[in-house]
Amino acid sequence: MLYLDLDEVSWISHRVRWFSHNRANLFSFYDKDHMDRCAGSTKNKVMDFLKRSGTEIPDAKIFLLTNCRVLGYVFNPISLYYCHDSGGALRVVVAEVNNTFGEQYLYVVRCVTAGNDQEKSSFRSGRIPKALHVSPFISMNACYEFHLSPVSKTLKVGIVEYEEDKHVLDAQLWGQAVPLTSGSLGRVFLRYPLICFKTIYSIHSQALRLLVKRLRFYRQPSPSEQQIQQEDLFSDLRQS
């Protein structure tokens, strides 16, 4: 995954040979793959979205953890926008979740606990109601709890899902930072040339295994009220 300073995406595209902004390359970041899925500055759209969602961060520094297109294709189950204030403090994280039906929803993740001296970098949210159908094996009567840390040399992301207050899923993502250079990106491509295709393949192959086990299956529901409200919000932002 790439961890991109949204103020520097175009600058990076001129200095990293295998990376491009809004044009084809081995790795490409397209603004239209994120937020409202339209052209235009992703950072500006995040700022507008946060303001309309009740969180205004003047002079925010926003970093995006995501998979970019590889050979023109990408599927991101989740991308995370780390939003820091002018003093460098992590204020809020926006989780951009996509399902395999082409739907998307943005969760605003706010910290509810201040870390103690041993856990001063912890960032834990309260339980956030599920608004987007993702897995056909978990109902919409569920909620998420995010456990995050500001990204530095290491990456730590935890997402716990509860269904009717029962702990049903614990997803963990750990990573080690590597400088983004032409050489490092070239090595990643040689080692994982089909990483984005593997993601979508793995999702469906795992779903097939669960079907064979005869787990309860939930069909895709109509868009939730939260989805409809968020789409209306984006429509208003596009027109403003």
* pLDDT for position 121: 59
80-98 pLDDT tens trace: 999 999 999 999 999 999 9
- Cα 100 to Cα 1: distance, rounded to the nearest angstrom: 19
Mean pLDDT within 174-188: 96
Domains of the chain, residue spans: 2-239
> Is residue 181 pLDDT above 80, yes or no?
yes
Whether the CB-CB separation of 96 and 35 falls below 8 Å is answered with yes
Whether the CB-CB separation of 215 and 138 falls below 8 Å is answered with no
Mean pLDDT estimate for the chain = 93
* pLDDT for position 122: 73
Least confident of 37-46, 113-122, 138-147, 216-225: 113-122
- Cα 63 to Cα 86: distance, rounded to the nearest angstrom: 13
Q: What is the percentage of the chain residues whose pLDDT exceeds 70?
A: 96
193-240 pLDDT tens trace: 999 999 999 999 999 999 999 999 999 999 999 999 999 999 999 887
Mean pLDDT within 44-64: 94
CA separation, residue 72 to residues 5, 9, 56, 122, 180 (Å): 21, 17, 34, 36, 19
Is-above-0.85 flag for pTM?
A: yes
> Is residue 114 pLDDT above 60, yes or no?
no
* pLDDT for position 212: 94
DSSP secondary structure letters along 117-144: STTTT-EE---EE--S---TTS-SSEEE
- Cα 35 to Cα 105: distance, rounded to the nearest angstrom: 9
User: Tell me, what DSSP letter sits at residue 73?
Assistant: B
145-157 pLDDT tens trace: 999 988 999 999 9
Q: Is the dihedral of CA 155, 106, 62, 38 positive or negative?
A: positive
* pLDDT for position 107: 97
